Structure 1
Amino acid sequence: MSNERNIARPRAGLPGWGWKLALAGCAAIWGGSFVVMKDTLDSIEPAWLMTIRFLLASVVVGALFWRRLRDNLDASHLAMGALLGLAWGTAYVVQNIGLDDTTPGRNAFLTATYCVMTPFLNWVVARRRPGLTNVVAALLAIVGVGLVALGDDLSLAMSRGDWLTLVGAFFFAVHIVLVARFSSVHDVMTLTVVQLVVGALVALVTALALGETPPAPETFANPDVLVSLAYLVLLSSCVCTVLQNVGQAHVPPAQASLLLSLESVFAVVASVLFYHELVTPRIAAGFGTIFVAVLVSELLGGRRRKGAEDDPRA
């Protein structure tokens, strides 16, 4: 789930449709990561998994962009990157603890509600009043979550994991608002590396506070665990972060947000195919309503967010 902008637009030869395809590829990778994380949680507890993932990703991204770090790392980048990492790390940790007690599809679509929360949080921080489309999107999201949450007898069927996922979505929205304020005057990749390091520290503190058991050394001898970690670190964290940041320099913000919001759709497809998640007509209607809320918020509401870069996670 970060949406930092590139200050210096990269020189790249891909046509516009190529960058759009790259952003859709990021959404597909992130969608698949919900199933990958769900399986990996059987071997590594949630906060420890996030600690390992973010720490390794920070090493890789830091090595790739060490010149940017050398030229730009100062007290301001450290402070702003730390705030981003605190919000982003909290969002991921809470989301993944929630994933341990819900299905990948529900986790993905409930997480997608951050798109709807963002304009209202931005109203508090930047005094930009949400438009009518934002209100409509919020109402649609509430209806969609209600369809997902209510059982067949109309009783509340939200698990602890579902509630935690909504809390994680809130912190993703906080992160997006902070990025909009910090990224225009800071180097994006420097902020990203600091964010990854602080996110790892947030996850580590959480693991220790919750008393989670560190993974045993033999856990990493399991080929399935190594493949999952490679997917989460190299593809989901490193490759997607770079593609997202570069791609957003070539794709209009509203289109980029829409393409990246496809993550929730890919997550449900992957969950049905690989996790055998049962999607009833009522839950499918809830997913669809949430996705329509995201479309309304990003396509119509995005026209009012002049110059804003409101795209999900790093």
Structure 2
Amino acid sequence: MTTKLANGLLLAVGAIWGLAFVAQQSAMDDMPAMLFIALRFFLAAAVVAPMAIYERARIADPDTAARSHHFVVLGIVFFLGMSTQQIGLLGTTVTNAGFLTTLYVVIVPVLLFVVCRQRQSVAVWMSAFVSLIGVYLLSGGDFSRITWGDWMVVLCAFCWAIHVILVGRFAKQTNRPVSLAAKQFFVCGCCGTIAHLVSESLGWTDSTFSVSMLLAVLPEIAYAGILAGGLGFTLQIVAQRHTSSSVAAILMGTESLFAAVFGAVFVGDRLTPAGYFGCALIFAAVITVELLPVKKFGMSQGPTVRQPRQD
């Protein structure tokens, strides 16, 4: 797979996740958040499982057992990102949550630079901050006072940033990216089930599971589980094997742009002039990261091999 094809797939992932916001918002009216997360990702694991079995039969990967902890770590971080975002929405506005979640676009290159000592290209830094400004304008730029919910969503952004980095690393260490995705979904579903049972036993959740509840949110679970989960996150893992984590974060960050578009189509949301300008900036960020030369700066990653002159 070429880098451009991988980047195109990640842009498609942003569109899939953008529409998922509509499904998630609708589902939360009838089902507790942790239960929705559990059912959504158990379904995603079931959908991807046949492809993972086929992949295992075709591709030998003798080190899979030794890297089994990768699946657990990735699934837990994935669940933390999903759950902190949903809990944060209880204590903040949708506008604040949308902007603060997309902070992961900027957090990814910062973490790679500070923690992993990986230099980032000028194009990546420019695109990250232009994308951030675009999301700010897209959200309307009207923020209330910082609340505990805001801090939860900031924590969510850090979780997503860590997840993007871990996917970039783990996916390149395995020959079975679909298996990695399936096991990540299963771990996330287990975490969601445990969280729901705990919250129910402590009285934090009023409603209990029922067939009528399931039927009420079945379309939302189907989309969120099969397309946004099974297809979207599997494409993320497959595509991130062929591009950088920083570029992946920017491309997947366009989910806020597509969420605004699908919100206008299906829910009747309308953008302000500033919002449309924010859309233009996000697309400009995507184009920039594709076209500008990769000129890196920052901490050195080791000695540079000097090439002989061609006289």
Runs of 5+ in structure 1 lacking a partner? 1-8, 10-14, 306-314
SS at match of 1:65: helix
Structure 1 position 196 matched with structure 2 position 185: yes
Structure with higher Rg: it is: 2
Alpha-carbon distance in structure 1 between the residues aligned to 2:34 and 2:253: 25
Match runs of 1:200-219 below 5 Å: 200-210=189-199, 211-212=204-205, 213-219=207-213
Change over 3 Å in CA distance of 1:33–1:191 after alignment to 2: same
Change (3 A) 1:119 1:246: closer
* Equivalent AA in structure 1 for residue 263 of structure 2: S
Paired with 1:300 and 1:64, the residues of 2 have a C-alpha distance of 36
> Partner residue of 1:124?
114
Aligned residues: 286
Paired letter, 1:54: F
Instruction: Output the CA distance in 2 between the equivalents of 1:18 and 1:125.
Output: 29
Alignment CA distance shift 1:22-1:180 (3 Å): closer
Q: For 2:75 and 2:210, locate their aligned partners in 1 and report how far apart those are by CA, in whole Å.
A: 27
- Matching of residue 62 in structure 1 with residue 52 in structure 2: no
Report 1:1-314 matches (<5 A). Answer: 23-69=10-56, 72=61, 74-99=64-89, 101-103=92-94, 107-130=97-120, 148=139, 151=142, 156-157=144-145, 161-186=149-174, 187-210=176-199, 211-212=204-205, 213-222=207-216, 225-246=217-238, 259-277=251-269, 279-281=271-273, 304=296
Distance 1:271 1:109, change over 3 A: farther
Give, in angstroms, the shift of residue 121 of structure 1.
Answer: 1.0
| SS at structure 1 position matched to 2:115 | helix
Contact 1:149 1:156 in 2 (8 A): no
Rounded Cα–Cα distance in structure 2 between residues aligned with 1:271 and 1:40? 15
Please identify, of 289-298 and 186-195, the stretch whose mean Cα deviation from structure 2 is larger: 289-298
Whether the 8 Å CA contact 1:77–1:190 is kept in 2: the answer is: no
Question: How much does 1:174 deviate?
Answer: 0.5
Contiguous gaps of at least 5 residues in structure 2: 298-311
**Residues 244 and 129 (structure 1 numbering): CA distance in 2 closer, same or farther, change over 3 Å?**
closer
| Corresponding letter in the other structure for 2:212 | E
Structure 1 residue 294: deviation in Å?
Answer: 6.8
For 1:143 and 1:161, locate their aligned partners in 2 and report how far apart those are by CA, in whole Å. Answer: 22
CA, structure 1 residues 20+82, in 2 after alignment: closer, same or farther (shift >3 Å)? closer
Deviation digits for residues 76-113 of structure 1, max 9, x if unmatched?
3320111111111111222233345533x664454332
Displacement after TM superposition at 1:129 (Å): 4.0
In 1, Cα distance between equivalents of 2:3 and 2:170:
27
Identity score, percent: 28
C-alpha distance in structure 2 between counterparts of 1:301 and 1:199, whole Å? 38
- TM-score, scaled relative to structure 1: 0.72
In 1, Cα distance between equivalents of 2:272 and 2:32: 29
8 Å CA contact 2:108–2:246 kept in 1: the answer is no
Cα 1:299–1:239 shift into 2, 3 Å: same
Which amino acid is 1:98 matched to? Answer: G
TM-score of the superposition, structure 2-length normalised? 0.72
Q: Evaluate the alpha carbon distance shift between residue 18 and residue 193 of structure 1 in structure 2; reply closer, same or farther with a 3 A threshold.
A: closer
Counterpart-to-counterpart distance in 1, 2:22 and 2:93: 11
Give the Cα separation in 2 of the matches to 1:63 and 1:202: 22
Q: Distance in 1 between matches of 2:104 and 2:287?
A: 12
Aligned AA (1:171) = C
Task: Compare 88-97 and 41-50 and name the one that shifted more.
Answer: 88-97
Measured after TM superposition, the shift of residue 42 of structure 1 is 0.4
The alpha carbon displacement at 1:16 in A equals 9.7
Structure 1: how far apart are the matches of 2:271 and 2:110? Answer: 30
> Quick one: structure 1 residues 290 and 203, their matched pair in 2 at CA, closer, same or farther if it must change by over 3 Å?
farther
Q: Is the 8 A contact 2:38 2:188 kept in 1?
A: yes
Distance (Å, rounded) in 2 between the aligned partners of 1:131 and 1:22: 21
Supply the RMSD in Å over aligned alpha carbons.
4.0
Which residue identity does 1:237 align to in structure 2?
Answer: G
